Amino acid sequence: MEIEEKLKKIVLEILDVPESELDFDSPLREGLGVTSVDVVEILADIENQFDIEVPEEDAEKFRTMNDIVAYLKEKTEG
């Protein structure tokens, strides 16, 4: 499964949004209504699914889902 699909699955399980509203370019907080609690859950799932550790200073840079995808590609694909 591609990074985008895995991330989409994680986010849809945590957020109460229809898949049609999930936009990888939307700001996470303003566009998708992600809360601090959601961020913690999403990061925990990402770390488990991708078998990586995401330092807090890296996580603070995530503004959109595309930011997360780019980060995951860098960390998992070299």
- The CATH code of the domain that includes 10 is 1.10.1200.10
Structural domains counted in the chain? 1
What is the extent of the structural domain holding 53? Answer: 3-77
pLDDT of 37? 95
Judge whether residue 57 has pLDDT over 90: yes
pLDDT for 66 equals 97
Q: Which pTM was predicted?
A: 0.91
What does the buried/exposed string (b/e) look like for 38-53 if buried means 16 or more CB atoms within 10 Å of the residue's CB? bbebbbebbeeebeee
Q: Given a cut of 80, is residue 4 above it in pLDDT?
A: yes
Task: Please report which confidence band the pLDDT of residue 51 belongs to, taking 50, 70 and 90 as the band edges.
Answer: very high
